Amino acid sequence: MGKLIIFSAPSGAGKSTIVNYLLSQNLNLQFSISATSRQPRGTEKHGIEYYFHSPDEFRHKIANDEFLEYEEVYKDKFYGTLKSEVQRILDNGGNVIFDVDVIGGCNIKKFYGDNALSVFIQPPSINELRTRLEKRGTDSPEIIESRIEKAEYEMTFAPQFDIVIQNDNLEEAKAKALKVVKDFLAK
Ligand code: ADP
Ligand code: 5GP
């Protein structure tokens, strides 16, 4: 069976950047596309970054027991990993890579145990997170504020992860991530 690699961090820490880098590295990784009830931002497309659903559709999937895990990550904004998505990737013979919030990350790790590696991406500071989110330019000031408000709490989860990678210098963080993932897949 394929292995599972989980990346979690506060929003703006650099998860997507690092996950996209790993996806380009011939490691037989496939991205677990989550479902969400938030609106697409920028160039995001249904079935690429996320499966975008209305809050009602999302609730219907919860009631149908379609999720391996789901969280209300921000008020009224639901995100979840579909069981069918993980199965699809494992059936294809791939290793699964997740970009999920800290609670989802801990839950997936508990579920898959030694078959999963959980990685926490640590930003240098909360102020730097704000700067990165502002520079990314994809979220309104209110949304950036709600993300920053949650970041301090999310940082307290770091010790529960198998590995913590500091993302101060992006090139160093990418190299470290590549090494830990390669080592884990070779085990
Ligand atoms: P996340 O997926 O964790 O929300 P992103 O990968 O979208 O974060 O990164 C947030 C923003 O910060 C992006 O614009 C990205 O290019 C930038 N970024 C990522 N890592 C660094 C870094 N080490 N230094 C400066 N900017 C960074
Ligand atoms: P964003 O809106 O920036 O894409 O994501 C916001 C947060 O939701 C990030 O921390 C991201 O990792 C998390 N997230 C994305 N998909 C899932 C998921 O399927 N489950 C959980 N628990 N969190 C998710």
Q: What is the pLDDT of residues 119-141, one digit of tens each?
A: 999 999 999 999 999 999 989 99
Q: How far is the CA of 157 from the centre of ligand 1 (A)?
A: 20
Extended strands (E) in 42-162: 50-52, 67-74, 77-82, 95-99, 116-122
CA 178 vs CA 19, 60, 172: distances in Å: 10, 38, 10
Radius of gyration of the chain (CA): 16
Mean pLDDT of the region 48-63: 97
pLDDT of residue 182: 98
Average pLDDT, the chain: 96
pLDDT at position 75 is: 87
pTM: 0.96
Ligand 2 atom 19: residue of nearest CA: 80
What domains lie within the chain, and their CATH numbers?
4-186 (3.40.50.300)
Percent of the chain with pLDDT over 70: 100
Substitution candidate for ligand 1 out of 20, 132, 133 with most atoms within 8 A of CB: 132
Taking a C-beta distance cutoff of 8 angstroms, is the pair 35, 82 a contact? yes
Write the burial class of residue 71 (CB in 10 Å: 0-12 exposed, 13-18 middle, 19+ buried). middle
Residues 60-116 pLDDT 10s? 999 999 999 999 988 889 999 999 999 999 999 999 999 999 999 999 999 999 999
Q: Is the CB of 14 under 6 A from ligand 2?
A: no
Specify the pairing of strand 95-99 against strand 29-31.
parallel
